[in-house]
Structure 1
Amino acid sequence: MQRHLAALLLTVFACLLPIVALAAAEPIIRVEVGAQQPVRVGQQVSIDVTILAPNFFMSAPAFPVLQVPGAVVTMPDERALNSTETINGVAYAGIRKSYAFTAEQDGDFELPATTVRFTYADDNGAPREGSVSFPPTRIRAGAGGTVNAGGPKQPLVPVARLVVTQALDHALDKGSVALRKGDALVRTVTTFAPQTQAMLIQPPHAPAPSGVRVFQADPRLSDNARTTAGPGGTRVDTITYVFERTGSYVLPPVTVDWLDPATGRPATSQAAAIKVEVSSGHADGALAPDGSAFGWLGEGGSFWRIVIGCVCVLLAAMVAMLAYRHGRPMLARWRQWQAERSRRRAESAEFRLASVLRACAASDAAAAYLALGDWTRAAHGMPLDVWAASTGDASLMEAVTTLQRHLYGARSESDVWNGKPLAEALQRHAATPQTRRHPPAASALPPLNPAKAVNPP
């Protein structure tokens, strides 16, 4: 009898254990640094943040922007990864997002203890508000290689291998470029660094030989490049060489410095040197100094050149007078149309929503609140609080409440409002049809306190 009773109790306990575990289950956050510490200065390190919630998510977590002094932390534009796993008999749904961390100096860095909020389903399928905070996470950065290009030392980019390629706007002929005196040669240098942000790539060294003028445009940076070596950053530099003298020239190789993380030693990648042959000679159709281009005018070419010049000046003056006389009314009408168009655009719901999103991106709480009220009245015909409640969106109402609490609640001067949750919530509702409410019908009842008419004496 005792054995049967014990077996019955064990069975009941085994059946109740999953229920108890599910009732006590809470969201979990994991932060994993994808590199062995200490990392090198300038080395891009991935930080994987995984949020786990019981059952399933009913709203996606709003991963925050991380601000770490002395480091650059970005969130690559990649989709979050979804996963499932079982912990202590409870099924969890997971969402993972990766950050890119790059230290700009030596030292220890602490990730901020930011709170992430979301909605998930409880054991009955009802929505439940959840939140998790980043655990204490420290990243240690050690010394890296530096380069000194005639100024303060700058950290080198630690990469597996940095690739430098170049392209010319003139074709090579037997190993050299043939130009004429006064011509220009455009040299486009592309530097690719795998698993590295483009802003961290060192500028290329591109010296020019004597007698050649050099003009270098601002670089073009891109972090979305993908090659056989994987994703990475790309820096594109455009260098223009102007040859004002004849002769043979050699443009030196273009070099870019980087750091080999395997050996810890500086390395250099380069694009090959270019040979240029500059010859004298006039371009086709150029005017000869003796005026031979006007030979078709005969021996009296100088006289006819003066006559043709005077006729051209008279024609130009007549065209200018006609344009001034008939163009002024057209210009006035065009300016009036532009002003009316600008006014309609400024009063449109799309323009007001764009103003809200710009204020959210700048974390300007006061501007965002004013622009948001204008938008809800223009697009939906109702005040902000009424429209937010009518959407039934919990995250939107939470974002609006947070904004109001920040503006009108008790807070310290150091509090900073984050406009990203509000911007994401608004973008979800921006595509809904604009339903402007009709003005309320006139009431059949007389006014409560009618104003008395004042008769003149």
Structure 2
Amino acid sequence: MLDQTGGIVVGQPVHLRVDVLFPGSMPRPPRVRVGDAPGAQVLRFETQGVTLSADIGGQPYVGQQFEFVVFPRRQGSIDIPPAEVTLLDAAGNAAGTARGDAQRITVTAPPGIDASGPVIAADEVDATQRWEPNPEQARLKPGGALVRIVRRTAEGVPAMGMADLAFTAPEGVRIYRDPPRSEDRMNRGVVTGSRIDRVTYVFEKAGSYDLPAVVQPWWDLDGAQARMVTLAGTHVAVTQPGVAAGPRSAPARLWPYGLGTGIVVCLVLIWFGRRGRSRRWQERRAAYQASEAAARAALCRVAPGGDASLTYRALSTWLGRLPVPVRSAVRADARFAALAGDLERSLFGEGGGWSDDRGRDLRRVVKEAYRAARQAPERAPPAALPPLNPTGSAAGAAQNGLT
């Protein structure tokens, strides 16, 4: 059931609660997922289900309530698919399935806000930024880089409920974005989302550049009005390294002048070679950091440590970077599905546990399942078990790559 179906604006979190009840007793908490809703983002919100009890027709029932959050990204009617429930026996094996009812919400654009952009609807939103190095003190040369770090926080909205900001740059500047980082906090059932975006600007040639401001519009749910936070841009001057080579006054011999000129030419050639290598190295480094291989390596480093939250975030990032056929094949691997289920229950359910041994198993299975999926992605069957519920952290919302 939804906490509301009308009077909703783009970006506003809508809570969807799924109750699963069993007559008499519940052998094991079930797994619950809600599929993709075109035009909206559906995230798992709470860390675990809430225990329920009820009397229906004179018979006692027990079960759990699971909470999701729907973030509409466009106006109009949005259909939310039925909840899919996997029932488990006492040993944790799948024992059956059930489905809930489809839901529909009606969404409008917040007055005074362009709903095609990254809208947040909350009671309070803040955004800050910092630059590395300080643009006012930096002495940048062609091939140099400037990093912009933006942090957004919002009450009641997890990090994964915040849409991407629009970072742009003038001609002659390349932009490389790191995967966003989440630092959500949960206090008495209320989440305060915090998303950190790190963007690198690489300057290809000398010149004067104005890096644009970044604007985060948001709808004040409490005050029912449009607001925005503007993060100022900056001016950057990129200078060509100077070459000092002055001739001597009327020397009797020309060979010292020729020698000096030759040295200068060699130094210039060496500098250009180093600049080219530096720029190529920065581009390759940025491309690698945003690649599937980097995400897989990070997952393999984190998993053996046994930290369920860090492992989940690393797994989310890796799955999100896989091509769809490869991701489907990996999720269809029975060993991967079992370990993913254990990881999910350790964060969102009851009876689950995670350890460094399970983390080492996951590292091994990830490598083997990925290798097999790359060899025959077209033969990968659809996932038999529901995927992990997304979370930005152990106490927050999930990342989309797992859905």
The TM-score normalised by the length of structure 1 is 0.45
Greater RCO (CA < 8 Å, at least 6 residues apart): 2
Of the two, which has the highest radius of gyration?
1
The TM-score normalised by the length of structure 2 is 0.50
